[in-house]
Amino acid sequence: MYKVAIIGSGPAGISAAAHAAALGMSHVLLEKTDHLSDTIFKYQKGKHVMATPANLVLRSDIAFEAGKRETILGIWNRQLRVENPLVPRHEGPVSDFPVNVKFHAEVKAIRGTGDPIPGSVQQIVTRARDGSRSVKEIQRHAPPYAIELTNGEVVMAENVILAIGTQGNPNRLRCPGADLPHVQYQLDDPTEYVDEHIIVIGTGDAGIENARGLAEDPAQRNTVSILNRGTEFPTAKDANVKALLADHEAGKLTIRFESETKAIEPGWITLATRDGEVRIRCDRVIARIGSAPPRAFVEECGIEFTSEDRGAFPKLSPVFESTAPGIFVIGALAGYPLIKHCMNQGYDVIEFINGNTALKPADEPIIAAKFAGLPGKRSTEEWLEFLRANVSILNGMNPLQMREFMLDSEVRFFRAGEVIFERNAPGSSLFGIASGSVAVEVNPADPSITVPIGTGSIFGEVGLISGRRRGATIRAAEDTIVVEISRLAALKLQSQVPAAKKTIEQISIERQLLQMFGSGLTPEDVAPLVAAARVEEKRAGEVVIAEGAEDKDVFIIRRGSMIVEKQIGGRPVFLSYLPAGSYFGEMAAIDGSARTATVKAAIKSEVIRLPGEGFLALLDKRPALRERALKDMAARRATNAFIESRKDSFSSAVDLYSETAQFLVDNGIGEATDVLLINETLCIGCDNCERACADSHDGLSRLDREAGRTYAHLHVPTSCRHCEHPHCMADCPPNAIKRGPDGEVFIDETCIGCGNCQRNCPYGVIRMDAKPPKKPSLLQWMLFGKGPGPGEAPYAWRKKAAEKEGAQKAKQAIKCDMCSGIDGGPACVRACPTGAAIRVSPDKFLTFTKLTEDVE
Amino acid sequence: MASAAKQRRAQAGPGRFSQDERRRDSDHVSFLKHRRFRWLWIALGLSAAAIIGYALIDQEPRPNGGSWYGYTLGTIGLALIVWLSLLGVRKRRITPGAWSLKAWTSAHVYLGLALIVIGTLHTGFQIGWNVHTLAYVLMLLVIASGIYGVIAYATLPPALSANRREMTRAQMLEALGAIDRQLEAAAQPLGRAEADLVIAALGQDPFAGGPLARLTGRYPFCATARALKGLDQVGSADPGAAERVRALLEKRREQLAQIRGALRIRALLEIWLFVHVPLTIALLAALTAHVISVFYYW
C-alpha cells in the first residue's frame, strides 16, 4: 500500500513524484510507455521547448528551463534516475531523487475499496450519435484505491494523483477480431515489414503517412491498402492527400473508398463497401482512427466534470482534489497546459497530501500585482472575495477557480467620467462592476443620453458573444472598480458556472433588444419579449426562414452572420449579407404576408428567436419604434426591388453578383472582420505585397498571394481574415493569441511554438518559422548588392545568417496582424502598384454595387 | 517600439476607427482611375499651361532651351525625371506612412506622359547631333517603353489569372513532377526507341528555351511534343502501355503549356522593365552631361 500513486509521468507527474521522494513519502509513479514524458518524448528531434509564462516562479524539485527537447528529457531522466538509450545522457551535476517508477503500467480502472460513501453517487451521461442520452450511476467508495493495470496487476494507494494529460488513448476497432494480435494501433518503423498484405484503416495524416511509408520501397514487396470511410479526406493535410493519390495512381498502393471493416480473422479481412462485402487477404491491420479524450476513463473513476461541454474540466477543490475523495487531478487534464504550471502543481499537490494546507500557490505574486494599483488596502484573498461577492456572475465560483480566473483577467479603477471603452472599438472582453456604476452612451449623436448600469452587473457582453466592435461608449458614472474578464476567462467561466452562463445570456438578450431600434426603450418594455425569447444555434447553411413560409417570428443574429436569398427566375439570387447584431423576419410579422426571401446561416451562428406577436405588441406600445421599423423595412424592400429589377435587364450581372457573393461566403468571408481581396484583372503578379509584408514584419511574409481560391477574377489569398471568433484562439496553451486595439488578431511573444493554432486555422494562414536576422539595408543592396534584397530572404540565406549569429531562433507561430501600430495601415495594400489589393470588411463589400462594378 | 506605437494610437482618441472604417469600405480601383483620374487632370493642366506659355510668351531671338522660359521648362522637366525615377526606391522602401504605391504609379504614368510635351517644348524644336538631343531621345525612348508597360499592366492580368486556374507556380511544377513520376513507371514496358523518346521528354528542363520562346510561347524543340509525334510513328510491341504513355504525355504537354503560358505572360509584363530601367539610368547620365555642358559653355 502506497501513500500516493501518481499516474502519468509528464511534467506534472514527475514533479509530484520527485517531491514525494524528497519528502520520503511512499509513492509509485505509473507510466504506460517505456519512457518518461511521452508527449514531450514524441516531439520532433531538436524541438525547442519554451518556458512560459516568464513571470511565473518555478516551484519544483525538478529543473526546467526553455531549451531543446533532448536536454530537458536528459536532465529529467537523470533526476529520476532513469536510463533511456533513446535520450542523450545529460552530463553535469543534477540533484536526483529515489523515485519509484513503474513503466509499462497502463491504468485500466481505479476504484475505491473502502465503504460506500453515503450520498456520493457519480452520474455519467453518455450521448449516442443519434442524440439520445443514457445515464449511468456509480456509487463512490472511500479510499484506499485499487488501481488496476491492463496487465492484470493491481496497485493499492491511499491517494491517487491523475496527471495523464489530454493526449488520450488511440481509438480501437470495434469489429469482430479487433483484438487479434496482428491488429495494431501504431507503426514505429515501416521498413520492418516485408512481403505482407497490410491494411491501413483511416485516412488522417497518421494513416496516410503509415500507408505511404509501407509502400515506399517496392523491394519490401508489401501489398498496401488504405481504407477511407467516405470519398473525401477531411482530416488530412492537402500535401499528404495529393501524395497518397499519386501513389494510388502509380499503383504503389490501393485506396479503397467507402469501405469499412466488418470482420478481421487471421490472414483475411472482410470489408463492407458500396458494392457489398469483400473479403481480401490481410496479414496486418494498422488502425489510425484518432484518439479518444480521456474523459470517459476519468469519469469512471468517480470524477465529476463541471459541465457536459467538450472543453469542460474536472470539478476540483482548492487543493486539486476531485469529487472522488483522495483522487487529485493536476496538469493539462485539470486545465493547465503549460509545463511550468504542471510542475508547480505536482509540487503543491504533494504538499497538500502531506498536510500543508497553508501553502500559497506559486502564482501569488502575479495575482497580487494585479491588485497593486487599486484604492483600498486589501490582501489578495480579500480582493478575490470582494470581486466574487460583488459581481453577480462570479458568485458561484470557489477560491481556486477565482485564482485561475484572475490570471486571465484584470481589475481596473476608473474615476468618474473616464471612458472605459469607446463605441466601435474592437474588444471581446466582458466587464463586471465590483463597485460604483457606469453610464452607457446609447445615442452616438448625443452623448448626454445615457443608460446606467449598476454594481454587480456586467457590460461588454455583446462584444464577447458576437465578436464584433463595441456598440456604445461607456464611461464610469462615479469612481468605479471593474473586473475586465478576457474572452478566454469568460468562456471558461460560462462552462464552469452554468448560472453565470444563464445570466450573461439573459442580459445580452435584453441589451440586444434595447439596442435593436436605438434608444427609447426601457427594460420593462422588452421584459415580456426577453422572457419569451429563445437562443437557437444554426449550422452553416441552415435555413432559418424559408421563402414563402407562413411563420411570423422575428430573429436577431447573436453571433455569426446570415445571407438573404430569393428565388428569381428559378435560381437563388443573393440579396444581402447580415452581420451579427442585425435583425430579420420583421416584414412578415408587421404586414402579415408570407416570407419574401430565404435567410440562412453563412457560418455557424446563433440567433435569438422572438415570437411575432410579442414583437407586434411591443410595436403597438411604441409608435416611434414602429416608424423606425417601417423605415428599415422600406430600405430593405428597395434593395431587394433594385436587384430584382436588374435581374430583368442585366440578368448576367445579377448572376455574377450572386455567384461571387456565394463564393466569398463559401470561402469563410462570413466570419471575417477584415479580409484581403485581390482583383486579378489588376494584379500583375509582382508579389510586392508579399515583399512589403516581409519587410514590415521581421523579414517573414504572412501572406501567400498566389495560394487561395479565385472566382470571376476575385482572389482570396492565403492571409488572415481576423475572424469574429478566431479558430486559432481555441487551443493556445500560453494564451498568446489576442485581439488587439485595431481589431487585429495577433500572436504575442509568449508563443511557445506548439503549432495548435496552425492546425486549428481552417484557412491555413499561420506559419511556423524562426525570426531571421536583420538584412543589410536597402541602400547597401542597391549599390553594392549586399544581402538578399527586399522581401523575405530565401530559406538558405536565413539559415546561414542565423548560424553566423549563433543558433537559429526557435520557431514560433506568425500571422498577419493587420500592420497594427504601423502608421498608414496594411503594407500589402499600400505596396500594391496597380490597386489590385484591398482589405475590406465583408458587410461593406458584399453589396451589389461593389461586386458588379467593373474595374479598368 | 511597436507597442509604443500601438499605445500612441490607442491614445489618439476618436477618429482612429473612422480611418480604418474608410479603408474597410474601399473598392478595387485601378492605378489609371485612381481618385477619379486626379493625376491625369494634373498632367493635362501642366501640359496645357506649358503649351499656352510657349505660344504666348515672346521668346527672343527664337524659342530655345536657353531662354528664361526654356530654363523654366527644363527645370520642371529635370525635377520630374528625377522624381519619376525614384519610384523604384519607393516600391522597395516600405516605410510607415499614409502613402500608397498605387497613387505613385498613377502619378508616374500621367506625369511621365506630360514630359513629352514639356521636354519637346524645352527643345524649342532644335534637334541636332549633340548631347542635348541625346538626352531628349533617351527620354522619349523611356516614355515609349513606359507606354508599353502601361498597356501591358492594363490588359494582361486577366490572361495571367485565367491561365493560373487557381494554381500557384509551385503547384504547377509539382503537378508536372507528379506526371513525370507516373510517366517513368508507365514507360517501363516500352521498347528502346519509344523509351528514349520518353526519357528525352523527362530529361528536358521545363524552363528550357530562349527569351524568344518565352515571349512567344513557341517551343519548337519541345521534347514532349516530339515524343508524342514519335510515338505515332514507331510501332509498339505493347500497345496498351504505349496508349497509357501517350495519355500521360498528352497531360504533360498540357501542364507544360500552362507553365509556359504563365512564363510568357509574366515575361510580357516584365520585359519592358529591362529597357525602361537601364534607359532611365542612361537618361540620368545624359541629363547630367546636358546640364553641366549648358552651364559650362554659357
Q: What pLDDT sits at residue A130?
A: 72
The domain of A543 spans: 528-649
- Chain-chain contact of B164 with A706 (C-beta, under 8 angstroms): yes
Over 50: is that where the pLDDT of B14 sits? no
What are the chain A neighbours of B26 within 8 Å (beta carbons)?
A: 838-840
A460 within some domain? yes
Q: What pLDDT sits at residue A496?
A: 75
Q: Are strands A276-282 and A145-149 parallel, antiparallel or unpaired?
A: unpaired
**Number of Cβ pairs closer than 8 Å across A and B?**
159
What are the chain B neighbours of A713 within 8 Å (beta carbons)?
A: 158, 161
A70 within some domain? yes
**For A759-794, what is each residue's pLDDT tens digit?**
889 899 999 999 999 999 989 998 898 989 999 999
Are A381 and A505 members of one domain?
yes
Q: Is B126 exposed, middle or buried (0-12, 13-18, 19+ CB in 10 A)?
A: middle
**Backbone angle region of A756, left / alpha / beta, with phi > 0 → left and psi within -120 to 50 → alpha:** alpha
* Chain B touched by A832 (CB under 8 Å): yes
Q: What pLDDT sits at residue A646?
A: 83
A517 within some domain? no
* Average predicted confidence (pLDDT) for chain B: 89
Instruction: Report the alpha-carbon distance of residue A73 to residue B116 in Å, rounded.
Output: 73
- Chain-chain contact of B9 with A706 (C-beta, under 8 angstroms): no
Least confident of A414-428, A804-818, B138-152, B226-240: B226-240
Total count of residues recorded for chain A:
856
Place of cell 502601361: B150
- Residue A68: phi, psi to the nearest 5? -75, 150
Are A539 and A672 members of one domain?
no
How many domains, chain A? 5
Instruction: Report the alpha-carbon distance of residue A532 to residue B56 in Å, rounded.
Output: 83
Q: What pLDDT sits at residue B13?
A: 41
Are A385 and A464 members of one domain?
yes
What are the chain A neighbours of B10 within 8 Å (beta carbons)?
A: 741
Interface test with A, best of B22, B24, B99 (most A CBs within 10 A): B24
Instruction: Report the alpha-carbon distance of residue A204 to residue A183 in Å, rounded.
Output: 18
Are A150 and A108 members of one domain?
yes
Are A128 and A92 members of one domain?
yes
- Chain-chain contact of A830 with B25 (C-beta, under 8 angstroms): no
For every residue of chain B, DSSP letters joined together read: -HHHHHHHHHHT-TTHHHHHHHHHT-----TTTHHHHHHHHHHHHHHHHHHHHHHHS--SSS--TTSHHHHHHHHHHHHHHHHHHTHHHHHH---SSS--HHHHHHHHHHHHHHHHHHHHHHHTT---SSHHHHHHHHHHHHHHHHHHHHHHHHHSHHHHHHHHTT--HHHHHHHHHHHHHHHHHHTTTS-HHHHHHHHHHHHS-TT-S-HHHHHH---TT-HHHHHHHHHHHS--S-HHHHHHHHHHHHHHHHHHHHHHHHHHHHHHHHTTHHHHHHHHHHHHHHHHHHHHHHHHT-
- Chain A nearest C-alpha distance from B250 (Å): 16
Which residues, other chains included, contact A324 with Cβ-Cβ below 8 Å and sequence gap of 6+?
A112, A122, A140, A301, A302, A303
CATH number at residue A428: 2.60.120.10
Q: Could you report the predicted ipTM of this complex, rounded to two decimals?
A: 0.93
Q: What pLDDT sits at residue B298?
A: 64
CATH number at residue A278: 3.50.50.60
CB A5 within 8 A of CB A161: yes
Instruction: Report the alpha-carbon distance of residue A226 to residue A198 in Å, rounded.
Output: 8
Q: Are strands A2-7 and A27-30 parallel, antiparallel or unpaired?
A: parallel
Smallest Cβ–Cβ distance between A820 and the set B6, B23, B98 belongs to B6
Are A837 and A691 members of one domain?
yes
A520 within some domain? no
Cell numbers for A148: 488496476
- Chain-chain contact of A820 with B94 (C-beta, under 8 angstroms): no
Q: What pLDDT sits at residue A855?
A: 57
* Chain B touched by A688 (CB under 8 Å): yes
Which residues, other chains included, contact B57 with Cβ-Cβ below 8 Å and sequence gap of 6+?
B69
Give percent above pLDDT 90 in chain B: 70
Smallest Cβ–Cβ distance between B17 and the set A424, A685, A853 belongs to A424
Q: What pLDDT sits at residue A11?
A: 96
Are A284 and A303 members of one domain?
no
Angle at which helices A651-666 and A623-649 cross, to 10°: 120
CB A294 within 8 A of CB A168: yes
- Chain-chain contact of A684 with B156 (C-beta, under 8 angstroms): yes
Q: Which residues in chain A show pLDDT less than 70?
A: 129, 517-519, 854-856
**For A668-721, what is each residue's pLDDT tens digit?**
898 999 999 999 999 999 999 999 999 999 899 999 999 999 998 999 999 999
What are the domain boundaries of chain B? Answer: 35-160+273-296, 166-270
CB B268 within 8 A of CB B250: no
A626 within some domain? yes
Residue type at position A290: G
DSSP reduced 3-state for A471: coil
- Chain-chain contact of A683 with B160 (C-beta, under 8 angstroms): yes
Are A630 and A598 members of one domain?
yes
- Chain-chain contact of B30 with A695 (C-beta, under 8 angstroms): no
A473 within some domain? yes
**For B17-54, what is each residue's pLDDT tens digit?**
677 788 888 889 999 999 999 999 999 999 999 999 99
What are the chain A neighbours of B21 within 8 Å (beta carbons)?
A: 424
Are A396 and A468 members of one domain?
yes
What are the chain A neighbours of B86 within 8 Å (beta carbons)?
A: none
Nearest C-alpha neighbor of A8 from the set A305, A290, A297: A297
Instruction: Report the alpha-carbon distance of residue A607 to residue A53 in Å, rounded.
Output: 38
Cell numbers for A346: 505536482
- Chain A nearest C-alpha distance from B66 (Å): 35
Over 70: is that where the pLDDT of B8 sits? no
Q: Are strands A267-273 and A260-265 parallel, antiparallel or unpaired?
A: antiparallel
Are A280 and A318 members of one domain?
no
Are A481 and A604 members of one domain?
no
Which residues make beta-bridge pairs with B169? Answer: none
Integer CA distances (angstroms), A144 to A1, A111, A115, A157, in order: 8, 9, 10, 6
User: Does residue A144 have a cis bond before it (omega within 30 degrees)?
Assistant: yes
